[in-house]
Chains A and B, each alone.
Chain A
Amino acid sequence: MSDSTNRLSSLRRRFSSTSPITIAFIALILGLVLGALIIIFTTPVILNSWRDIFHSWSSPWRAVKITADNVGAAYRSMFTGSIIDPPGLWHSLTTGKGWDATLTPISETLTYATPLIIASMGVGIAFQTGIFNIGANGQAVLGGIAGATVGSMLHMPTIIHIPLTLLAGLAGGVIAGAIPGLLKAYTGAHEVIVTIMLNYVVYAFLLFAVLSTPLQQPGQQNDISRMMDPSSQLAPIFGVASGLRVSYGIFVAAAVVVFAWWFLDRSSLGFDFRVTGANPTAARASGINSRAIMVLVFLISGGLAGLAGIVQAASTTHFIDGGFLIGNAGIGFTAITVALLGRNRPMGIVWASLLFAALGVGGRSMQASTGIPLDLATIIQSAVVLFVATPVLVKEIFRLRTSPTATVQLATKGWNS
């Protein structure tokens, strides 16, 4: 039982056919195939080309070519819009010019991924503790309100203002998380119900804050807050002039990833969290105070969601309005799917966030250049998660052989387990 054989067997497990990485990769491919089918069945040009084979005896090759062209164009624009445009890259490399334009897609993807990583890490830690934190979005909103208040209404030098703003965001999330945590620990109230309802309370509070408190932009009747001081903003790394939006927030996200890794893998408290998540009764028998864990997990999970909220506001809009993180922009909800896709592990969450951000950003570019609606990106995102959540299905489709020891693992358990 030497170390090298251990490492070998763990490596083998990681890339065996039912390992989470393989499953996630296959799920992505399946999602793209499904997306292609939807493009085919919803694009008149393609459908007409197939119909023409029978109507005007055109060559089947023409239909195949038109199909490939259209699907290819959609996915190409998705790729070039979210990662990199190869000709642009070549141009920049040979002439040394146009770097800003070349890097814009990847910068946008990173900008979207940054708060997502932070929020998903909070949701992931909760999942690992057996807690379903559906309230991440409300916690993020409250973090945004608290952070925007400190950022816009207090004035001080950058070196204190940024940390204080981020801390305020964190505190906002902690407060929003404390409520379901305490209720669950001391009354047994189910966290899913409490957090869902609390989201609406926070949304209402958001409207109140940007309409009826001094946080509202002076002279405005609309639901919009004051601008955050430049000293409290997370500035673009390459300067405003570059047009690249990727901000110093990415370092906050990196710090959160490192913290989450240390917390889950190396800290005693994180060990207690994982034991509680994996087997609550054994946790109790081992002397773990489950009540304290319930409260703590919500403080940490909520705190990270709140931090995500303020990072979002401080790095992109620099203000919040009545629609902050509402609807499609609800990173707290996206974070749940991202955490599942990333199997609640720090690096998994980073990759899943990048994938989701790239699909979202690329989807916009696809909509602009091919007219295929952005919703296709959402469909692909959802399909990927569905395939990951049902490994048995993926296994059946590809007739994968199970690795010798590992059984197919589910990303999370149900609500009540």
Chain B
Amino acid sequence: MRLELRGITKRFGSFTANDQISITVEPGQIHCLLGENGAGKSTLMNVLFGLLHPDEGEIIIDGEPVKFEDSGEAVRRGIGMVHQHFMLVPVFTVTENVVLGFEPTKSINRVDYKKATDDIRRVSKEFNLDVDPDAIVENLPVGLQQRVEILKSLSHDAELLILDEPTAVLTPQEIDALMDIMRSLAAAGKSILFITHKLKEVKAVADVITVIRQGRVVGTAQPTDSEGELASLMVGRDVNLTVEKSTFTPGEEVFEIRDLVVRDDRGLIAVNGVSLDVRAGEILALAGVQGNGQTELVEAIAGMRHVESGTITLKGRNITNASPRRVLDAGLGHIPEDRHRDGLVLSMSVADNLVLNTPRRAPFAKHGSRNLAAVKENAERLVQEFDIRTTSIYEDASSLSGGNQQKVIVARELSRPLDFLMASQPTRGLDVGSIEYVHKQIVDHRNKGNASLIVSSELDEVLALGDRIAVMYAGKISGIVDPSTSREAIGLLMTGTTSESEHV
């Protein structure tokens, strides 16, 4: 399919999300749409998929202008979309999920599963998807679930596949496999629109790259361009992708956990006998695919989840099952995974959020009465120091962009006297500029001789920040390695293969 978007403009009130965007996808081409969060990629895809209607511009498929009233029409015209969040029924089999809504019937009300299963087996084989049609979806790893989504689109005769940030949930090996699948799809003549903000993937797989910034196409690039060039095109200025770190001189042990066992919300063991230690002047990066117990581990350390057994020690003090207040007072700085849920009160001002966990500490309060002058002074200083972009310190935190919201949390935590910084997914959903900034702050903190634990599912981040890298799989530490270890080896650890791990 040859797809052409001509002058697509989509406005939300006074905000222009897409401004005269024109791109062309040739048959058999992998066209990469590169842009930061909020650049307008998702809006454009929703327009293409019939979920939003453009204010201006037209969609042309194989030379014929089309208008989609809804996504059903887009599907009928051969457009398939693999969403970031899968739209699958977990308890159904692969076949049932694929045919859902389009069941081939033998006679009235009898689904022809045999035909459906055979179809899936055939398509799966054709594109090396390697999916068992009879498997129950919830038993499949995330990477395979994604392939089921792709299968679903292909079974509806999609000629153009939209992949919206498909790699966010995958291990490095799964990402490689996905790239192979994309290549074989393209080879078979399918067109692919690949949306991402990850430079490595773009370079690996794209035929053509279109870069979008603030709703506009700012240029096209070649896969051969360097990551630095792509990043500066995407951000609109030069970006420093590598973080300057002073030489690694670990000091005394600051933080230690021993044989920690923690249960998740369903009562199942999520952290199964984890032991870690972090020394002064060191960043220990905890890698792993999401959902392998990292969240529960972090919550247990922060005092927000009950510890079944084992100990947590901070500066010689036992903080196992201590209240969040005691843990904070013991010197933990915490940048939580979900900033909207745990890190900020969005309906309160930037100034209040900057003292969220120190409202009673001098000078912010005296005899139970808040010192608003000190709160204001603190906010003005931190807004300046941490370059938080806000029209006023009295604006609600909700009015800030994601990057600036994260800066509020980073500023709050790093401005307290800390013995130990724990940051969980510290740059999730941030633009490249903000990522650069947050990384710099974390490394500066470490360079001053502080101990940090960084939990991240982004391998790039783990490699950029970690002095040592611990990999977590299925509630256990599958290995602790040096940052010079190859991505492949770490990727293997992320899938639980421990044989090759070397301990440092």
Contact = CB atoms under 8 A, between A and B. Distances in A.
Chains A and B are bound partners = yes
Given A268-B359, A282-B341, A282-B344, 14 more contacts: A1-B393, A6-B392, A9-B392, A271-B359, A278-B345, A279-B347, A282-B342, A283-B345, A284-B304, A285-B343, A287-B323, A287-B329, A287-B357, A405-B399
Contact of A274 (B342, B348, B360, B395): B348
A6 B394 contact: yes
Given A285-B336, A287-B324, A279 B345 contact: yes
A278 B323 contact: no
Contacts of B347: 278-279
A266 interface: yes
B135 interface: no
8 contacts: A1-B393, A6-B394, A268-B365, A268-B369, A279-B347, A282-B343, A282-B344, A282-B356
The 9 closest A-B pairs by CB, nearest first: A287-B325, A286-B357, A285-B342, A268-B365, A279-B345, A278-B345, A287-B324, A287-B328, A286-B356
Contacts of A108: none
Contacts of A288: 324-325
A271 B370 contact: yes
Contacts of B359: 268, 271-272
Nearest to B329: A287
Interface string B307-329: 00000000000000001111111
A269 B345 contact: no
Interface string A273-310: 01100110111111111000000000000000000000
A10 interface: yes
Contacts of B325: 287-289
Contacts of A42: none
B372 interface: yes
Contacts of B326: 287
A168 to B, nearest CB: 25
A259 to B, nearest CB: 12
A267 interface: yes
A121 to B, nearest CB: 19
A12 to B, nearest CB: 12
B81 interface: no
A278 B302 contact: no
B63 interface: no
Contacts of A279: 341, 344-347
Contacts of B368: 267-269
Interface band, chain A: 20 to 34
Residue of A271, A274, A278, A287 with most partner-chain B CB within 10 A: A287
B352 interface: yes
Interface string A381-411: 0000000000000000000000001000000
A275 B356 contact: yes
Contacts of A6: 392, 394
B109 interface: no
B450 to A, nearest CB: 20
Contacts of B393: 1
Contacts of B372: 266
Given A268-B360, A268-B365, A278-B347, A285 B334 contact: yes
B399 A266 contact: no
A274 B359 CA distance: 12
Interface of B: 302, 304, 323-329, 334, 336, 341-348, 352, 356-357, 359-360, 365, 368-370, 372, 380, 391-396, 399
Contacts of A9: 391-392
Contacts of B341: 279, 281-282
A269 B365 CA distance: 10
Contacts of A278: 345-348
A5 B395 CA distance: 12
Nearest to B395: A405
B233 to A, nearest CB: 31
B370 A267 contact: yes
A283 B345 CA distance: 8
Nearest to A406: B396
A266 B329 CA distance: 23
Contacts of A10: 394
A284 B324 contact: yes
A244 B365 CA distance: 44
Contacts of A285: 302, 304, 324, 334, 336, 342-343, 357
Nearest to B346: A279
A252 to B, nearest CB: 22
Contact of B348 (A1, A266, A272, A275): A275
Contact of A282 (B302, B329, B345): B345
A106 B209 CA distance: 74
B268 to A, nearest CB: 21
A267 B369 contact: yes
A285 B324 CA distance: 6
Contacts of B328: 286-287
A280 to B, nearest CB: 10
A1 B292 CA distance: 45
A266 B391 contact: no
Contacts of B394: 6, 10
A272 B393 CA distance: 19
B342 A266 contact: no
A87 to B, nearest CB: 48
A64 to B, nearest CB: 42
Interface in A1-49: 1, 5-6, 9-10
Nearest to B361: A268
Nearest to B396: A405
Residue of B326, B352, B369 with most partner-chain A CB within 10 A: B369
A186 B308 CA distance: 21
A414 B324 CA distance: 27
A289 B323 contact: yes
Nearest to A6: B392
A266 B372 CA distance: 8
Contacts of A275: 345, 348, 356
Contacts of B360: 268
B451 to A, nearest CB: 20
A281 B326 CA distance: 17
B399 A286 contact: no
A267 B341 CA distance: 24
Residue of B325, B326, B393 with most partner-chain A CB within 10 A: B325
A1 B370 contact: no
A262 B372 CA distance: 12
Contacts of B391: 1, 9
B357 A268 contact: no
Residue of B323, B334, B392 with most partner-chain A CB within 10 A: B392
A338 to B, nearest CB: 22
A279 B346 CA distance: 8
Contacts of B348: 274-275, 278
Nearest to B344: A282
Nearest to B14: A404
A278 B325 CA distance: 19
A267 B375 CA distance: 13
B324 A268 contact: no
A266 B334 contact: no
B313 to A, nearest CB: 19
A287 B324 CA distance: 5
A261 to B, nearest CB: 12
A121 B323 CA distance: 31
Contacts of B356: 275, 282, 286
A285 B346 CA distance: 14
Given A268-B359, A271-B352, A275-B356, A1 B345 contact: no
A124 to B, nearest CB: 16
Contacts of A5: 392
A281 B342 contact: yes
B392 A286 contact: no
A285 B323 CA distance: 9
A275 B341 CA distance: 12
A278 B341 CA distance: 11
